[in-house]
């Protein structure tokens, strides 16, 4: 049986207010994905075209045998309880072979209350802290984070918040001592070393300043090469130099350069660093070349680390992890 759905609106002299077609298009996609037929139509009671009776006539002429009519009204006023039913009764007489089904209006429904809440939220001028809290509430409602240990949860939340990517719920990996090591380094006033300036810029210096640490980036102006190691990237060279020259580094945040992460892992497994307390390594480089391999290598280490397996990562992830640790440190 060929079926049509009619969304019935009141209609307005203001042309741009007659926009039920958008709702009809969304409804059509939800009910009949991929359908090319014009089976969800719009009709107006007054002030706008097409009218209800004209739309019914057009549907019947196209072979429709069943017409579902939904009054897109909030309440059961005179239009819903008298005017439209009278038109439907007239249509039944004109087209006795067609089945007409008339639904309830939108009425009172809990989902409408949620929509009102969204509209209020969009209209409010919120402080940044309130916006952040609301964002965290939304992401917690949309993703099941109940399996994540309590000490890691704020970090996972902040990464998802920074990226709008729920995949990090499953791809973030933590050494058992990672969070404790990061918090201890921050509270001891140790420095944070980054692979690139973008990561350094994003880290919250105000939160870090309470403990006396600094954020440093040792990226070099140019690459160097040697017979032993070949060409070194600027980030790799910067990480290596800083680790050898600065004994106060407590966290290394790498969000861009896989070579810098590979160099860090190599150094920490070398005799030069044997027996030393090692910094927490936040290694989340992004990309297609060496990023996956460098993070998989980090995930196999015995020293404290936080990483994100796979290709995804980058500056926003590295910054989010470090800032989450800084925020946790400030609250405890």
Task: Say which DSSP state 278 is in.
Answer: P
Compute CA distances 202 → 244, 251, 316, whole Å.
24, 15, 8
Whether residues 145 and 83 fall in one domain: no
pLDDT of residue 299: 95
Distance, in Å, from the CA atom of 332 to the CA atom of 328, rounded to the nearest integer, reads 6
- The answer to whether residues 46 and 138 belong to one domain is no
Task: Judge whether 76 lies within some domain.
Answer: yes
User: What would the mean pLDDT of 127-148 be, rounded to a whole number?
Assistant: 74
Distance CA(10)–CA(77), nearest Å, equals 12
Specify the pLDDT at position 222.
Answer: 45
In a domain, 116, yes or no: no
For the cut 50, the answer to whether the pLDDT of residue 118 exceeds it is: yes
Average pLDDT over residues 309-318: 92
Answer yes or no: is 120 within a domain. Answer: no
* 310 shares its domain with 274: yes
- The answer to whether position 114 is within a domain reads no
| Residues 136 and 86 grouped into a single domain | no
Asked, for residue 204, whether it belongs to a domain, the answer is yes
Same domain as 87, residue 182: no
| pLDDT score for 32 | 79
- Give the domain-ending residue among 58, 84, 102: 102
Q: Are residues 193 and 242 in the same domain?
A: yes
Q: What is the reported pLDDT for 226?
A: 44
231-264 pLDDT, tens digit per residue, is 677 888 888 888 888 999 999 999 998 999 999 9
Question: Is position 249 within any domain?
Answer: yes
- Residues with a catalytic annotation lie at 161
For residue 237, give the CATH number of its domain: 3.40.50.10230
Q: What is the pLDDT of residue 235?
A: 82
d(CA 47, CA 58): 19
Let me know whether 55 and 92 are in one domain. yes
Task: Tell me, yes or no, whether 269 and 176 share the same domain.
Answer: yes
Same-domain pairing of 221 and 327: yes
Q: Give the confidence band of 122 by pLDDT, cuts at 50, 70, 90.
A: low
User: Which position has the higher pLDDT, 278 or 115?
Assistant: 278
Q: Chain-centre distance of CA 324, in angstroms?
A: 17
Mean model confidence pLDDT for the chain: 88
CATH code for the domain of 89: 3.40.50.1400
In a shared domain, residues 71 and 216 = no
At 50-108, the pLDDT tens digits run: 999 999 999 999 999 999 999 999 888 999 999 999 999 999 999 999 999 999 998 87
For residue 161, pLDDT beyond 90:
no
Does a structural domain hold residue 280?
A: yes
For residue 204, what are its two tokens?
Answer: 């919250």
Band (pLDDT 50/70/90 cuts) for residue 15 is confident
Overall domain count for the chain:
2
* pLDDT value of residue 66: 96
Q: Same domain, yes or no, for 174 and 74?
A: no
Residue 89: per-residue pLDDT: 96
Three-state secondary-structure class, residue 130:
helix
Find the domain containing 211 and state its range. Answer: 128-331
pLDDT band at 227 (very low <50, low <70, confident <90, very high): very low
CA dihedral 118, 119, 125, 129 (to 10 degrees): 0
β-strand partners of 225:
231
What's the whole-number mean pLDDT along residues 284-290? 89
State whether 53 and 143 are in the same domain: no
Q: Tens of pLDDT along 18-41?
A: 889 888 888 888 887 777 788 899
**33 lies in some domain:** yes
Predicted local confidence at residue 185, as pLDDT: 96
User: Which of 53, 85, 102 is the C-terminal boundary of a domain?
Assistant: 102
Would the pTM count as exceeding 0.85? Answer: no
């Amino acid at each position: 049986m060929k079926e049509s759905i009619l969304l019935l609106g009141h209609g307005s002299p203001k042309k741009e207010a007659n926009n039920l077609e958008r709702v009809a298009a969304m409804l059509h996609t939800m009910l009949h994905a991929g359908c090319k037929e014009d089976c969800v139509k719009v009709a107006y009671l007054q002030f706008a075209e097409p009218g209800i009776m004209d739309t019914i006539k057009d549907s019947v002429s196209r072979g429709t045998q069943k017409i579902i009519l939904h009054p897109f009204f909030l309440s059961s006023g005179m239009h819903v309880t008298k005017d439209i039913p009278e038109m439907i009764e007239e249509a039944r007489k004109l087209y006795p072979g067609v089945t007409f089904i008339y639904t309830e209006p939108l009425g009172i429904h809990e989902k409408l209350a949620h929509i009102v809440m969204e509209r209020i939220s969009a209209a409010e001028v919120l402080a940044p802290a309130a916006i952040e809290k609301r964002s965290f509430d939304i992401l917690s409602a949309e993703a099941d984070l109940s399996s994540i240990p309590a000490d890691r949860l704020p970090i996972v939340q902040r990464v998802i918040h920074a990226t709008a990517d729920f995949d990090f719920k499953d791809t973030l990996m933590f050494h058992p001592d990672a969070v404790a090591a990061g918090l201890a380094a921050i509270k001891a006033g140790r420095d944070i070393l980054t692979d690139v300036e973008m990561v350094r810029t994003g880290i919250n210096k105000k939160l870090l300043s309470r403990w006396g640490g600094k954020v440093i980036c040792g990226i070099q102006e140019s690459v160097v090469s040697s017979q032993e190691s070949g060409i070194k990237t600027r980030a790799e060279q910067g990480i290596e130099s800083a680790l050898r020259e600065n004994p106060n580094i407590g966290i290394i945040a790498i969000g861009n350069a896989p070579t810098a992460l590979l160099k860090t892992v190599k150094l920490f497994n070398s005799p030069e660093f044997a027996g030393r307390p090692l910094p927490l390594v936040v290694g989340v480089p992004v990309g297609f070349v060496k990023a996956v391999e460098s993070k998989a290598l980090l995930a196999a280490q015995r020293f404290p680390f936080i990483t994100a397996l796979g290709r995804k990562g980058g500056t926003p992830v590295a910054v989010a992890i470090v800032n989450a640790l800084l925020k946790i440190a400030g609250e405890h």
